[in-house]
Amino acid sequence: MFFLALTSALAADVDFNGRWDISYPAGADRASWLEVRGAETSAPEVRFVSAYGGDLNRADEVAIRNGELVFGFRYKRRLQRGAEPVDARTVCRARFSGAQLRGTTATEGSNAPPVEWIGVRAPEIREKDDGTWRESKPIRLFNGKDLSGWQPLEKDRKFGWTAGNGVLRAPGGGANLVSTEKFWNFKLHIEYRVDKGSNSGIGLRGRYEIQVLDDYGQPPDSHSNGSLYSRIAPSVNASKRPGEWQVYDITLIGRDVTVVLNGKKLIDRQVIEGLTAMGHDPNEGEPGPISLQGDHGPIGFRNILLTPLVK
């Protein structure tokens, strides 16, 4: 196995270090993220957000040889519903193509061809939530009666979304919804109602997911309601019971995010390192849309008001 013996670092190995925004040429509705540390050492480290898994995971195995970065993950998976889980291993490989990374992801034992991806360096974003931003004219993203200003992210999935009587609804198992307009720094007020056992999410700039989950009374973690999914845990669980309307007030300035749920501050100006599971727009230095997750369980949204923040 290539992981068992590491050769001495090449002069260019250090160039793998840093954070990378990843796009998929064959799947334009998904994006992911990679971080490499210590590429010039004998023990490089990799963290990876897979577009098709979602969690932020640390690679179990990492090696750089002859200009190629290779990292892998070991886990359990079911080959079919109801079957016992079996050992599985996914391996990613990447090389430089100019300033970009050109990579593939493949699961051992799978008949599917490797998934190709392209990585570009994540931009430095210097704007901070420092109290100097002022509110511009608010924008009502949902008119309460139809889907004007919204479009499906995945064109090959059933749509499912309906609008009426002030509520935007999805039955689950369908496409995610994306605003046609894009935004940079803003405050977002959005109300939601989640069914018992259901799950959704709110994508900021089409990159950063604030989790929506029925987890009333559960201890908070990085996958809880109000988390920046798989990255930042909420400080408390402020969730109401399923079926009740709840209120998010979210502020995003540069990479600084603040999340208030039902009047309680869960995340206070914490720094977003990079993309999360809902990411579909990898261009972190540019404005992006608001996205609503419809591919999990039943969910309803209302009173979606976005206020741009300007200097």
Question: What domain range is 74 assigned to?
Answer: 13-121
**Other CB atoms within 10 Å distance of the CB of residue 153:** 23
Tens-digit pLDDT profile for residues 65-92 = 999 999 999 887 777 777 888 888 999 9
57 and 28 in a common domain: yes
**% of the chain residues with pLDDT over 90:** 81
Q: Are residues 114 and 156 in the same domain?
A: no
Looking at 81-218, which runs of residues are DSSP E strands? 86-97, 100-107, 115-121, 134-135, 139-140, 150-152, 162-164, 167-170, 177-179, 186-194, 199-204, 208-213
CB 293 within 8 A of CB 202: yes
Quick one: 29 and 147 in the same domain? no
The verdict on 273 and 158 lying in the same domain is yes
Domain co-membership, 211 together with 297:
yes
Coil vs helix vs strand at 100: strand
Residues 12, 272 contacting (CB under 8 angstroms): no
111 found inside a domain: yes
The confidence band for 51, taking pLDDT boundaries of 50, 70 and 90, is: low
Do 160 and 47 fall into the same domain?
no
Do the Cβ atoms of 16 and 121 come closer than 8 Å? no
How far is Cα 37 from Cα 32, in angstroms, rounded to an integer? 17
The verdict on 213 and 293 lying in the same domain is: yes
Whether residues 149 and 269 fall in one domain: yes
What global pTM score does this model have? Answer: 0.92
CA distance linking residue 146 with residue 164, whole number of Å: 6
- Please indicate, yes or no, whether residues 69 and 197 belong to a single structural domain of this protein: no
User: What pLDDT is recorded for position 85?
Assistant: 84
Alpha carbon distance 294, 27 (integer Å): 18
Q: Are 265 and 226 in contact (CB under 8 A)?
A: no
Identify the CATH number of the domain in which residue 97 sits: 2.40.128
Question: What proportion of the chain, given as a percentage, has pLDDT over 70?
Answer: 95
Tokens of 55: 């969690």
Residue among 33, 39, 78 nearest 57 (CA)? 33
pLDDT (tens digit, 9 = 90+) per residue, 226-262?
A: 999 999 999 999 999 999 999 999 999 999 999 999 9
What is the number of domains present in the chain?
Answer: 2
Residue 145 sits in the same domain as residue 108: no
The residue out of 121, 147, 172 marking a domain boundary is 121
Amino acid at 65: R
